Chain A
């Protein structure tokens, strides 16, 4: 038993030594190639460690801290609060259903739009493309402002609805309600979904679609049986990425406030008494949920994340 241990240990040590030696003075072209790959990955790894892994680990540690400002002792108090307090459970529920609903809506809008962009002869196509991708570079706070313009108290659509329904503008203004927040979310999410789906659509085999039409399928049947199966991996991929985006939205909610979601509560923990341990616990839960969700989704679905 003991001898076995020694021999595996020495073997492991030998193989580590051999690897190191091949990195320092490679003899074959393959070893030189491995050295190059390592060299190319090092800068990114350093950044990942210093600005990603290390801070996230620190965040993870303080979320178990007994002291509020320094990492000290060990308690699962903050996690217990998250699980047992109905207040937090409610926030989690809100966050999830709202992100899911906006994601589904965005994808339902983005699929026909991507379809039109790929298949139809449209006038001024480059202008259309610019308009559709423009919001991708806007931060959430600007998306919120756009919704105020449309649905705020003096909003243009509020005026239209007020005129149509005969109610006062203030009554129909929905910018700061859940409805307004819904539109603000999809204002950011539609262009993102579109970006992903256009890449998918570009790879659709149009010959198969034309063959289906020639065989007598209606446009809807063609879409259902020929196009949809082809774009399915892209749609799933888009769903995963857009849902992640939805969970991460913060600036938009900070301005419109329509619904108390996880990210907004994280900010409140910090703003109201700098409860960094609780905020860290919430951020940790968020991180592991999204990380796990992404890994599982990429592993167990046919999703294509090509971006």
Chain B
């Protein structure tokens, strides 16, 4: 009789602790180096197990002001340059991404699934597209225009997905038809009712595609030739050429940027979009 309610099976007893252990190890693996990077960027030495010589801002000064040797450019100019390039990409993404997201979310048409796949799967990754651009637009690469149009194609899927997640929470057909029955032409309906209603998704998509464009390394590395390096190239130069702790500071600048973006997305409250980064 006492065996009527047996102890759980093996998996009932050890399954949950095991899964939790995997979670804990994953968290450690992903978060620990980020924390160490940030902490060590304020250290003056790192020869032993842990960095020593806290707190110094020398590394940050080198990154922000520039050292004049090695990775000699200050982060500011790269940041400004990348901001501009990525913004250009975002503008193009808005023009191409919002309409196609709407077409796929609202209408039913032949080949819609494949249009959707093209819109949300990157056609080619940065390095392949980079090689293609090198050959096709050799003159544009120095002006940054090649970078802008490349970024916009590479990051368009993120815009489309974020906007789609906004559209999915709306009854598009009824909203569109209500506006039209009230006398608004279709273009006017799209611009004054549909687009403003998808505001959160559009802002989230802009922020995400901006961040990812600013962080795009593979494409920038192949296409960039001279002039102010984009942010990702600046990071690369620091990681490969600068002292270890300077690199830590440069990477930390980037972390701060991502942290700001994450906070911004959370303020917008588009949790779906945050999940999708």
Contact = CB atoms under 8 A, between A and B. Distances in A.
Direct contact of A and B (CB under 8 A): yes
Interface of A: 32-34, 36-37, 39-44, 46-48, 50-52, 54-56, 58-59, 62, 109, 112-113, 115-117, 120, 122, 128-142, 144-147, 149-150, 154, 156, 159, 183, 187, 190-191, 195, 198-199, 218-221, 223, 241, 244, 248, 250-251, 254-255, 263, 266-267, 270, 276, 279-280, 283, 286-287, 294, 298, 305, 307
Contacts of B115: 41
A103 to B, nearest CB: 15
Given A154-B46, A190-B26, A112 B236 contact: no
B222 A270 contact: yes
A294 B121 contact: yes
B23 interface: yes
B65 interface: no
B47 to A, nearest CB: 7
B229 to A, nearest CB: 13
A199 B244 CA distance: 38
A241 B161 CA distance: 15
Contact of B96 (A44, A54, A131, A251): A44
B135 A280 contact: yes
B62 to A, nearest CB: 16
A54 B124 CA distance: 13
B44 to A, nearest CB: 14
Contact of B239 (A36, A133, A145): A145
A120 B19 CA distance: 10
Contacts of B247: 145
A44 B26 contact: no
Given A48-B153, A159-B49, A218-B12, A142 B254 contact: yes
Contacts of B99: 39-44
Contacts of B150: 51
A248 B126 CA distance: 8
Nearest to B161: A307
Contact of B36 (A39, A156, A250): A156
B31 interface: yes
Contact of A187 (B29, B131, B254): B29
The 9 closest A-B CB pairs, nearest first, are A220-B11, A248-B125, A55-B132, A40-B103, A218-B9, A146-B33, A59-B132, A40-B99, A55-B136
Contacts, number: 251
5 contacts: A133-B274, A195-B277, A248-B128, A250-B125, A276-B131
B103 A47 contact: no
B232 A139 contact: yes
Contact of A137 (B33, B244, B261): B261
B129 A55 contact: yes
Contacts of B218: 139-140, 248, 250-251, 263
A7 to B, nearest CB: 26
Contacts of B50: 156
A159 to B, nearest CB: 4
Contacts of B123: 48, 52, 56
B216 A139 contact: yes
A26 to B, nearest CB: 11
A223 B133 CA distance: 47
Given A55-B129, A145-B251, A112 B30 contact: no
B128 A138 contact: no
B235 interface: yes
Contacts of B152: 47, 51
A266 B33 CA distance: 30
Given A267-B222, A276-B135, A141 B96 contact: no
Interface string B214-240: 011110011000000000100110011
A290 B95 CA distance: 28
Contacts of A221: 11
